[in-house]
Amino acid sequence: MNVTRRTWISAGIVSVILAGGISVAAAASAGGTGRGEDPVAPAVEGNQPVPTDAPAAQRPSEAPPSPETTAPAEDYVVSKDVNPDPRQVGRYWTEQRLEDADPLPMPAIEGNVNVTR
């Protein structure tokens, strides 16, 4: 491989772009982006009270619901075992049922299938 001046310039540009992307990703994962106008304002976690000297953008517009008003997880989480016993499938598909079963239709191409190159 012939390493020329253009190769070194390209490698430098790629390195700068890569370093910039890494720094942006690190800032975003640390919570440095999207804080509003005041980047020095501390973030408020979970159910911690908002300080009285916090900017108006950081104060919640409405109080979070109290734990007593939240429905229990069983009321809004939907879960179902799809196949609790795989042997039951083997018992269902007997030889007679397999012979009587209709296969799913194969997909069909509609329209002009002749392609000219």
For the stretch 45-89, pLDDT in tens is 555 665 666 555 555 555 665 656 666 666 667 677 677 788 888
**Amino acid at position 18, single letter:** L
Q: What's the pLDDT score for residue 98?
A: 92
The domain spans of the chain are 1-32
DSSP string covering 47-110: TPPPPTTS-TTTS-SSPPPPTTTSPPHHHH-----S-S-HHHHHHHS-HHHHHHPPPPPPP---
Q: What spatial distance separates the first Cα and last Cα of the chain, rounded to whole Å?
A: 36
